[in-house]
């Protein structure tokens, strides 16, 4: 076992409110334990503070920033701080004995150590790449930072059995302000220069909060991942869910690591993809998930419709902590905060965003729901409203929640579509259900994977938006009302192929469009007023459809501008939409395309989340049955259209009599190849549903009509060229 050579640390006074009793290790430089979790250390008392001590802390700018000689060798070349320590520790009889005398294969190696003076010196960059071993777990020692002003990192070959705290934060958070910012106390990590500078102040507050909850060690990706190593990043991402699931404490920093945000200050934390997993992975029964924020008002309890919410001080007069669940609930209504001495403070808790009520509702549902189906749908709905700098991270950030570990290194950073298919395949193979079907009915379907809602282009610079008929809207605004605080019970399972087609057995009925409007009836199911007694169903897009049976002649599609590829015998329509037919042969022989079937597919029943999720708006429980319209675009292959149906519960016996069919739902556009980023114009353009005699887009205000009989006119010369532009205008009979 190696040791660290250098000058002794010059001891300096530490304010009482940051002085904690260190947790004594069982052996110098190594912690060993059984497979079970080590018993928690003794309780750390919450120290008192007087005004002079508090002012001393604030006036230093960097918290505890003392002058002393370093323990370490001189920094290596350039401005990089690298201190190799204890890199050759081996397991042996002397160092593998745990508390009860049994053996363990866990060894903790202190591989990197640096004083805070040197860490925050001008032009210094923290780089652990030459001292850390890739594919290892790493933790920061909170006691070392608070007691000795030393950043000390430990490394584990096997998963650590010590109590530790995991941090949830955003890579780029709130900008510095005059209240809580100290540029002189910031440092940068090599490989993470695109993120916020790391505030030593914020790190100290987090360490104090962790120690108060009996966690000596801290996991934070910026410090515990080799940011310059693709190998280590890929390995850490694959183990990220386990890291958060096994923590004893999870602390949320909504404003990022540049500074602590105030409770009434808006942040982007709830809009980021990775923060979803970070608060869903921990065991909700044994792990405390809390928010750390800037707070000067002392301890208090907040009342109101979403309360109570208890605020505990971390550093008195500077920072505080409160349970995440409680803060989410009181974000809806609480404005009066009662402090000691019955003093009233009118503060609006905006820390999750002023317009983020739907995100908050969905997150509460994902955190609190015990029903696995309800929780799964909340996850899919929540991720639609979030964003990330890399499209593929929208999948990697939730895969662990579904018990899936994808081979991270096999995907390009733009492979969101391919990774989504891979995740869905694994979920279904494990016996899961296609809960993404119930994530949103109002959002247009994805053009490549129509069983999914549209997958907006992601960027940390903006909140995800989507093009709707009303204009460009935030995805959260476009999420269904009132479905955003409900989940769909009864969604099907099935399988998914490599092209993203969901094969499922569902209740469904064939449909064809009519000339009727829907605004003259109140029910979703009714009979025609033409004396024929036809059974009609109205969609949420003003379309009225006739329910037929399989013995009747189906309606047909209309194809607009496209290109015919003789070699593949397919018609490419409207930007990559493929119809696997032989259009020229069909036109010459019959004058019309093969039949294209339309079905109403029953998805399930809208069910309110548990009582822990606040109910907003009107109760639509009496109209809870949900179905979607699918259209055949290739033999036996269907895509979801923008039409969906909300059906009254009174018609449940009728819906339950719909026959079951095996239907493949996907496409209709060709899936993207690896490494190709989803183009914003394609991802946000509403899907066009080709229906008899015309084309309607999402939420149309036009009337669907009976298909007229017209002559077929084709401009297509296959003899001159393999690929010619063709205008195929075909009006087809529906009966």
CA atoms within 13 Å, Cβ hemisphere of 391? 22
Predicted pLDDT of residue 170: 94
Cis ω on the peptide bond leading into residue 668 (within 30° of 0)?
yes
What pLDDT band is residue 478 in, cutting at 50, 70 and 90? confident
Which is higher by pLDDT, 292 or 717?
A: 292
- In 3D, which of 628, 626, 629 has the Cα closest to residue 605? 626
CA distances 136 to 131, 233, 234, 679, 717, Å, are 12, 11, 12, 37, 63
- Taking a C-beta distance cutoff of 8 angstroms, is the pair 361, 385 a contact? no
- Return the ∠ at Cα 376 (arms to 505 and 221), rounded to 5°: 135
For residue 642, which of 449, 481, 446 has the smallest C-alpha distance? 446
pLDDT at 129: 94
pLDDT tens, position by position, 355-411: 778 899 899 989 988 899 999 999 999 999 999 999 999 999 999 999 999 999 999
Q: What is the pLDDT of residue 185?
A: 80
Range list of β-strands (E), 403-501: 465-468, 471-474, 486-489, 495-496
Identify the band that residue 337 occupies on the pLDDT scale cut at 50, 70 and 90: low
CA dihedral angle for residue 27, residue 28, residue 31, residue 33, rounded to 10 degrees: -10
Least confident of 397-411, 444-458, 499-513, 618-632: 618-632
DSSP-based three-state secondary structure for 81 = strand
Task: Average the pLDDT over each of 99-108, 228-237, 508-517, 599-608 and give the range with the smallest value.
Answer: 99-108
135-191 tens-digit pLDDT: 999 999 999 999 999 999 999 999 999 999 999 999 988 887 655 555 568 899 999
At residue 361, the pLDDT reads 87
Q: How far apart are CA 485 and CA 593, in angstroms?
A: 43
**What is the spatial distance between Cα 386 and Cα 464, in angstroms, rounded to a whole number?**
7
Higher pLDDT, 664 or 6: 664
Other C-beta atoms closer than 10 Å to the C-beta of 304 total 16
Q: Is the pLDDT assigned to residue 53 strictly greater than 70? A: no
pLDDT score of 370: 83
What b/e sequence results for 5-42 when a residue is b if at least 16 CB atoms lie within 10 Å of its CB, and e otherwise? eeeeeeeeeebebbebebbeeeeebbbbbeeeebeebe
Q: Residues 429-455: what's their mean pLDDT?
A: 95
Query: What does the pLDDT read at residue 459?
Result: 81
- Size of the chain in residues: 735
| Of the candidates 581, 564, 558, 570, the residue with the CA atom closest to the CA atom of residue 670 | 570
Alpha carbon of residue 687 to chain centroid: 24
Round the average pLDDT of the chain to a whole number and report it: 73
Spell out the alpha helix ranges (H) of 82-158. Answer: 116-119, 142-148
Question: Would you state the structure tokens that stand for residue 74, as one six-digit string?
Answer: 């001189």
What secondary structure, in 3-state letters, does 664-711 show?
Answer: EECECECCCCCCCCCCHHHHHCCCCEEECCEEECCCCCCCCCCCCCCC
pLDDT of residue 477: 83
Most confident of 57-66, 167-176, 473-482, 722-731: 167-176
DSSP lists the bridge partners of residue 509 as 600
pTM, rounded to two decimals: 0.75
Of the chain, the percentage scoring pLDDT greater than 90 comes to: 45
């Amino acid at each position: 076992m190696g040791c660290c050579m250098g000058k002794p640390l010059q001891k300096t006074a530490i304010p009482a409110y940051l002085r904690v009793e260190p947790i004594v290790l069982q052996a110098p430089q190594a912690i060993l334990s059984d497979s079970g979790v080590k018993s928690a250390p003794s309780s750390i008392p919450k120290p008192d503070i007087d005004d002079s001590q508090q002012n001393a802390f604030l006036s230093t700018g960097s918290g505890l920033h003392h002058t002393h000689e370093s323990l370490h060798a001189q920094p290596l070349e350039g401005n990089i701080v690298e201190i190799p320590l204890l890199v050759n520790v081996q397991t042996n009889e002397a160092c593998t004995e745990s508390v009860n005398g049994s053996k363990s294969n866990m060894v903790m190696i202190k591989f990197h150590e640096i004083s805070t003076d040197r860490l925050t010196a001008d032009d210094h960059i923290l780089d652990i790449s030459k001292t850390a071993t890739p594919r290892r777990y790493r933790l920061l020692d909170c006691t070392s930072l608070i007691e000795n002003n030393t950043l000390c990192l430990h490394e584990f070959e096997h998963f650590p059995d010590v109590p530790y705290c995991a941090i949830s934060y955003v890579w780029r958070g709130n900008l510095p302000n005059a209240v809580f910012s100290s540029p002189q106390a910031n440092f940068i990590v090599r490989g993470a220069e695109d993120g916020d500078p790391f505030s030593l102040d914020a790190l100290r507050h987090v360490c104090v909060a962790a120690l108060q909850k009996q966690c000596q060690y801290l996991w934070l990706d910026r410090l515990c991942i080799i940011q310059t190593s693709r190998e280590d990043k890929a390995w850490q991402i694959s183990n990220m869910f386990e890291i958060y699931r096994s923590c004893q404490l999870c602390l949320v920093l909504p404003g990022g690591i540049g500074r602590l945000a105030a409770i009434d200050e808006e942040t982007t934390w709830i809009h980021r993809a990775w923060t979803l997993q970070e608060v869903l992975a921990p065991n909700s029964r044994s792990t405390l998930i809390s928010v750390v924020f800037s707070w000067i008002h002392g301890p208090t309890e907040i009342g109101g419709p979403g309360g109570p919410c208890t605020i505990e001080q971390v550093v008195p007069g500077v920072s505080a902590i409160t349970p995440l669940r409680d803060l989410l609930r009181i974000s809806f209504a609480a404005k009066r905060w009662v402090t000691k001495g019955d003093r009233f403070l009118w503060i609006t808790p905006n820390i999750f965003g002023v317009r983020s009520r739907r995100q908050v509702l969905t997150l509460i549902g994902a955190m609190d729901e015990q029903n696995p189906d309800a929780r799964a749908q909340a996850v899919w709905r929540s991720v639609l409203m979030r964003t990330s700098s890399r499209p593929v991270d929208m999948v990697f950030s939730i895969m662990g929640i579904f018990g899936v570990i994808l081979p991270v290194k096999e995907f390009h950073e733009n492979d969101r579509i391919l990774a989504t298919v891979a995740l869905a395949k694994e979920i279904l193979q494990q016996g899961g259900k296609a809960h993404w079907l119930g994530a949103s009915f109002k959002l247009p379907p994805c053009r490549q994977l129509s069983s999914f809602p549209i997958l907006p282009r992601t960027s940390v610079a903006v909140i995800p938006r989507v093009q709707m008929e009303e204009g460009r809207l935030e995805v959260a605004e476009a999420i269904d009302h009132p479905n955003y605080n409900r989940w769909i019970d009864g969604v099907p399972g099935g399988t998914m192929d490599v092209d993203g087609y969901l094969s499922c057995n569902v209740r469904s009925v064939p449909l064809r469009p009519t000339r009727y409007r829907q605004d003259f009836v109140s029910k979703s199911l009714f009979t025609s007023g033409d004396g024929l007694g036809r059974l009609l169903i109205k969609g949420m897009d003003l379309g009225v459809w006739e329910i037929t049976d399989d013995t009747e002649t189906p309606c047909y599609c209309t194809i607009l501008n496209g290109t015919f590829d003789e070699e593949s015998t397919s018609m490419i329509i409207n930007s990559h939409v493929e119809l696997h037919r032989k259009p020229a042969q069909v036109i010459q022989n019959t004058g019309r395309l093969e039949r294209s079937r339309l079905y109403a597919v029953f998805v399930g029943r809208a069910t309110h989340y548990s009582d822990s999720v606040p109910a907003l708006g009107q109760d639509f429980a009496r109209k809870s049955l949900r179905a979607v319209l699918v259209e055949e675009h290739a033999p036996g292959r269907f895509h979801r259209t923008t039409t969906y149906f909300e059906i009254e519960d009174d018609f449940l016996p009728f819906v339950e009599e719909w026959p079951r069919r095996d239907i493949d739902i996907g496409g209709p556009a060709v899936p993207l190849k690896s490494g190709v980023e989803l183009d914003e114009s394609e991802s946000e353009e509403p899907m066009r549903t080709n229906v008899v005699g015309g084309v309607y887009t999402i939420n149309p205000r036009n009337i669907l009509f009976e298909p007229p009989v017209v002559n077929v006119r084709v401009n297509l010369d296959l003899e001159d060229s393999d690929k010619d532009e063709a205008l195929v205008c075909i009006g087809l009979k529906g009966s």
